[in-house]
Structure 1
Amino acid sequence: METEILSQVKKVLITFPEYWDNENLMKNKVIEDLRKYKKELVECLLSNQRIKDAYSLNIENGFVFKINEFIEMLRFKNYWEDSYTKFSNEIGLTSDEKYLKYNSDVVLDFPHKDCILEGGMTKEERAKKEIYYHKVLAKEEIDVLLAPKVFSNVKRYSEKGVEATTKFNQNDNLIIKGNNLIALYTLKERFAGKVKLIFIDPPYNTGGDSFKYNDKFNHSTWLTFMKNRLEIAKDLLAPDGSIWITIDDDESHYLKVLCDEVFGRDNFINNVVWEKKYTIANDAKWLSDNHDHILVFAKNKDVWRPNQLPRTDEMNRAYKNPDNHPKGVWKATPLHAKSGSPNSANFSYKFKNGVVFTPPAGTFSRYSKETLMRMDEDNEIWFGKDGTAVPSRKTFLTDLKNQGTPSKTIWRFNEVGHNHEAREETKAFNAEEVFATPKPERLLKRIIHLGSNKNEIVLDFFMGSGTTQAVAMKMGRQFIGIEQMDYIKEVPLVRLKKVLEGEQGGISKEENWTGGGSLIYAELQELNQQYVEIVQQTKTETDLYEILQKINNHAYYDYKVSIERLTNRDSGFKDLSFEDKKNIIIQSLDANQLYVNFSEIDDAEFNILDSDKKFNESYYNNNGEEAQ
């Protein structure tokens, strides 16, 4: 616990009067003595067990004092304030802890970068005061926060309806309700290294979307939020997997550098530009914003390859058959290639009609003499209408029928859909327009086609309206979806139930979708989270105090909270406004005890149902059998 460690550090340093100027710690003097390995200082620090646990590495027959990490904490922490980071407000590219303008090796640095951000909103309209856990100083809290959780309220959805289940199979589609960071770590127990494609449409941090955190470091908060989730996403990706992230101009360039750091700059594939609107905003103050970015990174670019796109009718129209060749329509292609391409040596070849082929200077023939001879015999060389043009090869469409074409990086709305089309798709199963900018099914179809094959796993941990899962189901992929917002049952689950039943919207007709299959729905078993939601929904003072008594008996407070001040009606708590009381109670709950850890599933205090215990046993012990 950070506060505890800091108090222990102060407890040790207070015994060295030479390090203090009244109440101010002279950090530079402490650091200087640490650099000199001042014996009495080092011994005194390491005699404190909490400091030793946080800043030492156990080795055979001893331990090593991680003195540089300790110095980093002293140097960059506003020692007596609740700051977790090296910088007070700056965000930029750094190398060797210094900001820079020009360098080929750079990383993105920002406040809270070395922290875990829980990000536990459940309703879009409610901002949440976030808690940051420092990875070194708050290791225990993070271990608890990210430990595997208990699944509860498990149901299997199919075209036949909804039924209880106690089994999980490796090839089951899975929908999880709960905090997506915590759910991702729970997935790691079963799916590490097995996900072929991750698509996410995260909050864009524009101020007008669902990322409404009351934090003066809003930009840094967003970057921390994304970094935490991208790091575990990388662990889930298969060696030949890829991640696709939609984002707009507000954060796209920062996100690119962040992804460079997480996935490796060498694993960047492309920035796809998607034309998301089919109209131009005539009232635009500056330029009309008509596109989003789709950042594409591979887990390992050396082994990842995208699938080809199907050939279009427009491509095929370029093929003709002016000489009535028996193999059908064809298109003339050059016999030579650019310099430097891997082809046979330069030479000349004389065709049957007397035309001599010599590749232009600086180029090489694509074909050997033997291949040119065969094509000449089979009438597969074109010399133009008058028979005297530079010879070209006849590339027959029949030879390309099973081949695709590489994807371009600019996707027009007429190819993959636009926001208005997506809103119409969501209205078909949700009359209330919850999502202002959902993604169209055609867009997800292209991404899923390029990045995965049938039966491979597609993951989306910002599930939203469920477009990714709907398209994955129609395309024969296994899918996993995570959503922490309360609308999960009213929107995406309703949509997926209709997909199971064979709904014909979106890409259904072109994929010949008629329904079928199943999915597992499970919730992370709430602990403190259930009380957060109850308090948020409370309408009267009387109900609030009744709930407060339940919280006192069953919930977990943050260790810094004075329960007496909350429960004593004579304290200042009673004078707060109703909304302030609710906020104080919520903030007093231990944020890393939002859900029940799997290690505590048999604790009678949590009343886990036997059926849920069986499902969890099936999931975590990887012994799923035929679904029941």
Structure 2
Amino acid sequence: MPNTQRVHTKFFKELEKTLSIFGNKYFSPDGSIARSAVLDDLELNDKELIGAIINNKYFQENYSVPFKNSFIFNGDEFKTALSQREYVYDGLTNYRNQIGLSVLRRPLDSFANENIELDFPYKDTVLKAGMDKSDAKRSTEPYLNKIIAKDEINALVEPKAFRNTEVIGDVDAADPNLLIKGNNLIALYSLAKRYSDAVKLIYVDVPYYFKEQKETDSFLYNSNFKLSTWLVFMENRLQEAFKLLKDDGSIWIHVGEDGMHYLKVLCDQIFSPENYVGTLPRKTRDGKSDVPFNFSQDFDWILVYTKTTNSDKAIVGRKVQRKYYETPDFPGRKWRTADLTKQTTTKERPNSDFTMVNPKTGKEYPVNPDRSWAVTKDTFLEWYDRGGIGFPDDYDFMKGHRPFRRVFKDEDDKKDKLSSVSSDLLLKDFIKTLLAKSKTTKKDEYVKKQQFNYAKPEELMKQIISVTTKEGDYVMDFFSGSGTTAAAALKMNRRFIAVEQIDEQLQLSKKRLNSVVKNEDKGGISKEVDWKGGSGFIYTELASKKENLIDQINAATTIDELTQIAKLIGDDDYQLNIDINKVWQNLDQVTVNDVKNAMVDILEPAQLYVSALNVDDPEEHISEKDRNFTKAFYAGDKVIDHE
């Protein structure tokens, strides 16, 4: 008969139950499933076996597609799930434990191919863990395979209920600012219901990957990710975040040197290379002498991607206060000057190799051999006659010694296009901020008072927000930390969505944003943007089951009571792929408190949240206020009633 001690996923539990009707035919002597026997009969299209499988409700829902009044069984996917032999607990990943470039999942050896991808263990999984240091204590990470653990993943990512909701300040009931506590992957899935294709800017300062393991450090998040774990951690989140972006939105990913190049390849796979905008350096310090190879690496990096594949769309840009002239020769039409040359030589553009002559004065202007005219000999008069070319000797007030291109204000108004941040005038402030005003040691006064290290300054966020958004746009940060992104967005009259899991950072962020609303925060960009306070935000939490279970464990007084709670934890409702029986080894040698501590240790890293579908279940202990907020949130309605 089957050995239930070896089964750890819903797939194999259901398969054991199904195969049991055939007696020992599909089981090995040790009680495990004889997978080769099952696969052989599936290849032979054994009607009895296939009939038993497709009559199982779980396999119908997860390994078939509806067709008219029946369904089509996906036998290939089922066999793939069954045949994996490298899974921990019978099913984590079909990748061997090696990292490298691959083509069609084969290692890239000596041949060249443009279609390359970063291959790493577990990339076909969802990582349940969050980012705090408790996740680093486990010897194995809680992965869910996308084929085998469909049921568990569906339960993990379905929209969640909210709890402990607070309204702080003057909140827009229809489009509120949000500060959410909870695992950011699960939060992203929940946000998709309301904010899909709605966010203009996503900025994330992600947990950095470090190639050297750190015994101790001052980071509050887990800084000792294995590379493959870090990559799947990032992949899961970036895939979902991308769905929230507007078509002309952009995502800015702040990352350290050790992980940047791996993450760039991963982002190309997620967003596609065509959606890559660029990479920006940020200076983090002024240099150190005690460094490997005597080379001080003083930068981290920002990877920028967009959702649109239309390269003509202005993903970044700024409104510029232009200087216009009004002259008698063009009454009622204000104009400005622009460059009349191109970055090409006269050898490259021989038709633009000519001396330009002012028709009014006859003054000659020779061409620069290294920068040809933007017009040709044949098109000069056409441009001049419609007012598109001017000369400095035409006007007493005009400075300069070269002809200029004339652009009329009514032409600028029709375009309504933002100026490129790569132009000389605009690039100066933006790059100056990245290279001089955004160092980690330069903390905003509010954050400095709270003893929070590694916060990015508000000036950096002001520059990014100003070139990517306009007032009223949504700005998101799902690694919110101390709340710098949300604080800058609030002061710049943008809406924000911030997500944070680590309680210490979350409370700092909540306190900080409250001080911004009350105009008590005078630091950062407050003076520069003339912030006077006001607005508000909603603080809410993904409703957790864990606290209730831990309360039950702590209230228990006997082993029998704990046994009953353990059975509850092992139920399918909690989706915990753990062997709870390990807690009960050597019972005669442990105390009730020992067992309590072991159970709490199992629960601590678990991501147990209340489904929004169960918000009215009295056993979930959701207040009426939170029930109403949850229902309105997912219905797209106003989330609070000001009346």
For this structure pair, what is the TM-score category when the shorter chain's length is used for normalisation? 0.7 to 0.9
In the alignment, structure 1 residue 189 sits paired with structure 2 residue 193: yes
Alpha-carbon distance in 2 for matches of 1:76, 1:344: 65
Q: CA deviation at 1:172?
A: 1.1
Alignment of 1:325-474 (within 5 A): 333-335=339-341, 338=344, 350-352=357-359, 353=362, 355=364, 365-366=374-375, 368-372=380-384, 379-380=391-392, 392-393=403-404, 404-407=419-422, 413=434, 415-422=436-443, 424-428=445-449, 430=450, 433-434=451-452, 436-474=453-491
Match of 2:174 among 150, 170, 175: 170
8 A contact 1:332–1:392 mirrored in 2:
no
| Counterpart for residue 134 of structure 1 | 145
Give the distance between the partners of 2:161 and 2:338, measured in 1 at CA. Answer: 63
- 8 Å contact from structure 2 (residues 282, 438) kept in 1: no
RMSD: 4.7
Partner of 2:326: none
What letter corresponds to residue 442 of structure 1 in structure 2?
Answer: E
- Indicate the SS of the match to 2:257: coil
Distance 2:341 2:88 in 1: 74
- C-alpha displacement of 1:614: 2.5
Whether the 8 Å CA contact 1:151–1:525 is kept in 2: the answer is: yes
Is the CA contact (8 Å cut-off) linking 2:207 and 2:223 kept in structure 1?
Answer: no
Question: Which residues in structure 2 correspond to 1:569-608 (within 5 Å)?
Answer: 571=587, 574=590, 578=594, 582-587=597-602, 591=606, 594-608=608-622
Contact kept? 1:168, 1:619, Cα under 8 Å: no
Instruction: Quote how far apart the aligned CAs of 1:618 are.
Output: 2.7
Q: CA deviation at 1:520?
A: 0.8
Cα 1:494–1:7, aligned 2, differ >3 Å: closer, same or farther?
Answer: closer
Equivalent residue number for residue 222 of structure 1? 230
Contact kept? 2:283, 2:300, Cα under 8 Å:
yes
The residue aligned with 1:521 is 539
Counterpart residue number, 1:288: 296
Q: 1:5 aligns with which of 1, 11, 30?
A: 11
Report the 3-state secondary structure (helix = DSSP H, G, I; strand = E; otherwise coil) of the residue aligned with 1:481. strand
1:287-330 CA-partner distances (Å, limit 9, x unpaired)? 21211110111011417523435779xx99xxxxxxxxxx9999
Q: How many residues are matched?
A: 587
Cα displacement string for residues 54-77 of structure 1 (whole angstroms, at most 9, x for unaligned residues): 332232254333233234334443
For each residue in 1:357-389, what CA deviation from the matched residue of structure 2 results, as whole angstroms up to 9, or x when unmatched? 679699664364133356699644699xxxxx9
Displacement of 1:563 after TM fit? 7.1
1:145 aligned to which of 156, 160, 164: 156
Cα distance in 2 for residues equivalent to 1:205 and 1:545: 43
Q: Counterpart in 1 of 2:3?
A: none
How far off is 1:544 after superposition? 8.0
* Unmatched runs of 5 consecutive residues or more in structure 2: 1-6, 324-332, 572-576
Describe the shift of the 1:233–1:51 C-alpha distance in structure 2 as closer, same or farther (beyond 3 A).
Answer: same
What residue in structure 1 maps to residue 329 of structure 2?
none
Could you say what secondary structure the match of 1:204 adopts? coil
**Identity score, percent:** 29
Measured after TM superposition, the shift of residue 169 of structure 1 is 1.9
Question: TM-score, structure 1 length as denominator?
Answer: 0.78
Query: Of 609, 616, 628, which aligns to 2:630?
Result: 616
> Residues of 2 paired with 1:400 and 1:381: CA distance?
25
8 Å contact from structure 2 (residues 95, 120) kept in 1: yes
Q: 119, 125, 143: which one pairs with 1:109?
A: 119
* Distance change >3 Å, CA 238–CA 284, structure 1 → 2: same
My pick for the range that moved more, 104-113 or 56-65, is 56-65
Structure 1 window deviating more from structure 2 (259-268 vs 100-109): it is 100-109
- The Cα offsets for residues 461-497 of structure 1, whole Å up to 9 and x where unpaired, read as 1110000010001111000111111114531111111
Measured in 1, the distance between the counterparts of 2:34 and 2:269 equals 34
Q: 1:91 to 1:41 in 2, by over 3 A?
A: farther
Aligned to 1:522, what secondary structure does the other structure show? strand
Gaps of 5+ in 1: 160-166, 317-326, 384-388
Give the Cα separation in 2 of the matches to 1:297 and 1:86: 29
SS across alignment from 2:174: coil
* 1:249-296 superposed Cα distances (whole Å, 9 cap, x missing partner): 22112211222222222111111111122x111111232121111011
Per the alignment, do residues 505 and 98 of structure 1 end up closer, same or farther by CA in structure 2, a change over 3 Å counting? same
Determine the C-alpha separation between the residues in 2 that align with 1:122 and 1:549. Answer: 30
Instruction: Work out the CA distance in 2 between the residues paired with 1:169 and 1:93.
Output: 48
CA, structure 1 residues 47+605, in 2 after alignment: closer, same or farther (shift >3 Å)?
Answer: closer
In the TM superposition, residue 175 of structure 1 has moved relative to its aligned partner by 0.7
Distance in 1 (CA, whole Å) between partners of 2:388 and 2:13 is 87
* Alignment-mate amino acid for residue 604 of structure 1: P
Is 1:495 aligned to residue 512 of structure 2?
Answer: yes
Aligned to 2:243: 235
What is the one-letter code of the residue matched to 2:149?
Answer: A
Distance 1:214 1:332, change over 3 A: closer
TM-score (norm 2): 0.77
